[in-house]
Every structure is written in structure tokens, then in C-alpha cells.
Structure 1
């Protein structure tokens, strides 16, 4: 009996130790970013000068600190009429604009080509979308765009078969090839309209087909082959740049959190087709965020050094910020010694779905304390 009790106590001790995230955090670690050189070749061989300048700007910024931002921080994350919608809450709390401002092309695939009862016509949607990006650019934010591509089979689920072979259908000769080309053409119309007040192209960190190692998107694991994913990625670059003359995009490869280097590189389309490395790591309230983030950032940092590429924590957050000290005790500990160029939290839609505190939220003061850390850079810090 005594032996059984001792064994039980030992197991409990091991469990507690393994779940103590601070065991993996080194408070003495220093942030010493390696010097990354501007590549001689980009994913788009005809990349314009503004996008090349953005890469150099990110190199310089990384030596200074970590550019901090959020997905759709200017009230554009929720297009539906709700009474508790959050707008401009980032600036209201931070007193500055984010260094990184994220946008998403998801709705571009749902816009009609002709009049209908849908909320926005395509041209009106593009005008609204580009106006928001131009405003963010004028406020000093670096622009990143993701694309939660809608399934041409409709709003199915991973378990009903509707995700199977959609990627194959997007490839040459596939049943959805025309849909895919048409959507890229729409995206190109939008991306080519990103021009500032001086007539200069607005450069974009473009993050398509992200979190491909998960099983929750139709381009994820189990719904296509690795080679089909790689071909889709390469086709996207080729069609946008060669067929539609889009030359303001730096391409960001960003899996969901991984367990190993090999998992990170499993779907990697090749050095010549990627400009920036990324990783998405969220806090799912399972007491593993800090450990997972530290390990993943270490994996990606090692790869980025080998490949002479910048890297970033491209998505993160704790939905509804249910831990009031999360920004200083979890996020800051995860990134403070990392050489990431930037970190981006997910969006705020309404008071029932958000990732940064709004005025009066219990975590507001902790968020401000996080933003005051020397390593954390906002828009005014990267000008």
C-alpha cells in the first residue's frame, strides 16, 4: 500500500512539473536577433521596389524589437449590424496604431459580379477593403493579408466529405480551376489598387493557405496530398505575379503549431517560393501555451537562420482575454527573447469575441503594461 501511495505521489509530482509552464521559461534569456540579409531572389521574381523596401524595413525593425499588431484593428473585422460591435478599440486602449495591421480576403470569393441582394457588390467591396488598408498604411502600420478561402462546394464540414480533393480541383485540369482563377483575378484587382496618396504601391505580407498542417481547412492535412498543396502554393504565386501582374506581395508560409521541425517543413513549397516564415500558436486554456509557443518559436528561428529568412508569430491570442494578466505573464514571456520580426493577435469583432481588451475590460491595464515593454513596437516606433 505504501509503495502504491508513493508511486501515486511521484506521478502527481511529475504531472505538476510537466504542466508548470515556467519550467520552460528562461527569465535570463536575451533577445539577440541574427542579422538577416536581403535575399537576392524573392518568391516573385518581379517584386516591386516598395515590397523590397518593406523587407529591409522588417530587417531593421527586428534589430530594434518586435512589431506588434492585430488582425483588423480598425473596426473592419465585423461587417454585420450588431449592437456590441467593437470599433477602433486598439487605438482607444493603446493610444497608438498597431505596427502590423491584418486583413483577410475571405469575402472576396463571395461577392457577386452583377447586381443582387447581397450586401456588397464586388467593386463596392473592393473599394471599402482597399480604403481600410490605405488608412492603416497612412497610420504607419505594415499590412499583412491572409485568405480564409471559401470552399467552392459550400459551407460543409471536415467530416462530411466536402473538403476532400478541393485542392486537387483547383489545380490544372481540376473541376474548380476556373473558380480558382476567377477568385485570383478578383484578388488581383484588389491588390493592384493598393496605392498610396503619392501613387506608390503599398507592399503586403501575404499569407495564403495558412495552417495547412491542421484538419480544419480544405487545404489541410488529409484532404489533399503534400505535392498537391505545394503545387497550389506555387500556382498562386505564378498566377498572381505572371498572369495578373501583382508585384507587391511578400509571401509568408505559416503552419499551425507543430511538434517538430519535420512537421513544420512537411508542406514547405521551397525556399524560392517563400519570403517570410511564420507560425500560428493560440492559447487554448490548456496550460500549454507558453511551452508550445517557446518550443515552436525555437523551431522556426533555427530554420529561419539556416534559410536566411525573417520569421514571425503570425497569429496568436487568448479568445476574450479571460486571463487578466495574459499579456505580461504568457505572451510576453513567450516572445521576449525570440528573434521574431512581428507578432499579430487575432481580431476583435464584438464584446463576445475579441483578442485585445477594449476600454473598461479587466485586462486593459495589463495590456498597456505589455505595450510599454521595451521590445514591443507600435506604429510610432517603426516610422
Structure 2
């Protein structure tokens, strides 16, 4: 915001963004958040931002080494996006469900932001009725926490903790760091307590709207972009079945992983192509950013998966970002849980069958990593 003084009268003017201006769902979003949102639209023709979950925290055979990064180890450059997880924050735990201390997470988020990267945060909240983890589907949990439900007060206390964490994310100037917040994802599956098998569209919409309104209006958290994120869908109507409305969403995304043997079928790339086609069209209609919020192939046993499956499925679809899921490494306990290629000692150089293929993805100029993201000045 800049001040203009004319004939003794003080005017306040919001600094305009060149070209079309896209409105964030939060009408009181911070200037930096608005700039990021609009700059991500401007960046769509420049390529796809590449992200990785827990990238700075751990990888195969290592954890919490300052400056170390799974993606940087692989290709010599940091990713453009960093994903983190809030699960167990609602329980007042000191570490999240992936064993990352929340204090360290805050530092990693600040580090990624200073590199010019984008921050995205998911939330695998525990089941508020059974007390078990997010994968426990008992107890009609969504109905219990929306307004009028018996666990509504408990859920508000959880959101209070989310707000405290989000409001603690500041840069070295004391300004809030924008975050893409992706709660209640993969709801078209059947494995979380908020999924379609245990939650009606009306209940889901009520949960989303209350979450948005409480964080935005009650807790005054104004640096979040909200990502709507089903898993499977076959058409536009299916994608929008649980959609809470344009005034509650900034990003339209979905999750899609490779399963089975990709060497003898084309199911992954064909389905990815189809769903990205649906996504980009519906996002354009609603003036939202399209994204592939989670993807990957566990342990990458197919050497050319990145180019012959992932890149082939993406094709020429213009999306904002893709995000690989995390590498378990020491946190997983056995060093055999990963979605990104590795040059670490668990897999000596030349023995990871996917490494060179990932490098082909890196040099394809189709994806944006740290250096180009910084050049794009997404926060300015």
C-alpha cells in the first residue's frame, strides 16, 4: 500500500498488479499473499513449479542437516515449493505425525521462503470422535465438528492451534509468509474421516466454510491460500460435487499416484491426462489456479517413470505446480520409503535407476526450480 498526497488530502491506494487481477478468497488477504496469487497466474506460461514434501528435513540416510535437500542433492538445485504437515499439532504435540518438530518446521518454512520458494501445508488431523489417527473413519466425525455438532468446541480449539502456528510464520522483516493451506484432501477416496464414504457433500461444505471463516474472520489469519483437493473424479460434476464455492477456494488441485506395474500399461499417464484436462477447464471457468498437489511412485522401481509416465501424462497441460510426496529415510525407520531420486549413500551414485530420468525432467525446461522461481519474484 502506498500513500498519495494531493492538495492536503491523504489517499490510500493499493499497489496495482499489471494485467488481470485475480481475487483471493480471503478479501482481507495480505498484500504479499495477493501478489503471490496473481504472480502464480502470470507464471503459468513459464512452466510448472516443482515441489517436494519435507525436502529440507530428511532423506535416505540423513535428517536435519543444515542446507541439505533431497532435490538439491539430486540435481544441484533446490525445489521451487516446499510441503509440510500439521498432523498432531491439534494434540499439542511437539513433533508432527512425520516426526518433524514444529519448531524446526517453522525454521524450514522461513528458509524455503527466503530462497524464493512457495510453502504448502497439509493437515492429517486426528479423528476428533475416536481419538485415533486421520485414517480412522469411525464416529461420523465431520457431522460432529461442524456447527451444532457435539465436538464443535473441540474442533474450534484445534483451529486455535492452527492459527497460532500460521501466525508464527514470518520472514526476517516480521511479515507473514504466505501459505497454500490444503486441509481435508483426497475426500473422494474412502480412507480419511472426512471422505465421501462417511461425509455428505453438505457436511463437507459446512466443514470447509466454517474452517475458512473461523481462521479468516475470528482468528484474523490473512496469509493463506486455500486449496480444494479431491483424489479421483471422472468429470466436472464429479470434481465439483463437494466444492464449497468460489468465495472459499483459491486453488483447484487433486492428488494422483502411480500404482501397479507401469511397464505393461498406460493407465497412469492416460488418467492423469484426462483429469488434468478436466481440472484446467474447470479452474479456468472459476478463475482458480490448477495444480497437481500430490504425486509420485513409491520407491520409483520403474527407471523412466518421470519422463515416460509423469511428464507424458502432464503433456501440454498448463498447471501451476506439481508436488512429490516425502522420502521416509531415517524417519520411516528402514530407509526404504521415497518418492524422489537419491544420490545418498543408501543408493550409491549410478545405482538409483530413476536418477538419470529425473535429471532429464530437470533439464527439460518444463519445470521451475529454485533459481527460476527466484527470478520470477513471485512475492513482489
Greater per-residue strand proportion: 2
CA distance in 2, matches of 1:335, 1:201: 33
Give the TM-score normalised by structure 2: 0.83
Q: CA deviation at 1:349?
A: 1.3
Displacement over 4 Å in runs of 4+? 82-87
Q: 3-state DSSP class of the match of 2:189?
A: coil
Q: Give the TM-score, by structure 1 length.
A: 0.82
> In the alignment, is the contact (CA less than 8 A) between 2:298 and 2:337 conserved in 1?
yes
2:336 aligned partner: 352
The alignment's C-alpha RMSD in Å is: 2.3
1:103 to 84, 90, 93: 84
Establish whether residue 65 from structure 1 lines up as the match of residue 68 from structure 2.
no
- Pairs within 5 Å for 1:159-174: 162-174=137-149
Of the three residues 351, 356, 369, the one matched with 2:360 is 369
Give the 5 Å matches for 1:112-191.
112=93, 125-152=101-128, 153-155=130-132, 162-191=137-166
Structure with more of its chain in helix, by fraction:
1
Match in the other structure for 2:308: 329
> Quick one: distance in 1 between partners of 2:91 and 2:353?
37
| Deviation, structure 1 residue 148 | 1.1
Structure 2 CA distance for partners of 1:172 and 1:109, relative to 1, 3 Å: same
Q: Matches of 1:64 and 1:129 in 2, distance apart?
A: 29
Partner of 2:230: 255
CA shift for structure 1 position 177: 1.2
Of 192, 195, 207 in structure 2, the residue corresponding to residue 232 of structure 1 is 207
Q: Give 1:222 deviation, angstroms.
A: 1.9
1:199 alignment partner in structure 2: 174
Which deviations, in whole Å up to 9, do the C-alpha atoms of 1:86-136 show, x marking residues without a partner? 962221112111111111111212325xxxxx769xxx9543221111111
- How far the C-alpha of 1:185 sits from its partner, in A, is 0.7
Count of aligned positions: 334
State which of 18, 32, 42 in structure 2 corresponds to 1:50.
Answer: 32
Aligned to 1:240, the other structure's residue is in SS state helix
Distance 2:120 2:81 in 1: 7
Deviation at 1:45, TM superposition (A): 1.8
**Structure 1 residue aligned with 2:287:** 308
CA distance in 2 between partners of 1:85 and 1:353 (Å): 14
CA contact (8 A) 1:203 1:249 kept: yes
Distance 1:76 1:110 in 2: 23
Q: Conserved in 2, the CA contact under 8 Å of 1:212 and 1:221? A: yes
Residue 84 of structure 1, CA deviation: 6.6
Contact 2:22–2:37, Cα closer than 8 Å, also in 1: no
Report the 3-state secondary structure (helix = DSSP H, G, I; strand = E; otherwise coil) of the residue aligned with 2:42: helix
**Stretches of structure 1 lacking an aligned partner (at least 5 in a row):** 1-34, 113-117
The structure-2 alpha-carbon separation of the partners of 1:88 and 1:316, relative to structure 1 and needing over 3 Å to count, comes to same
Q: 1:243 to 1:157 in 2, by over 3 A?
A: closer
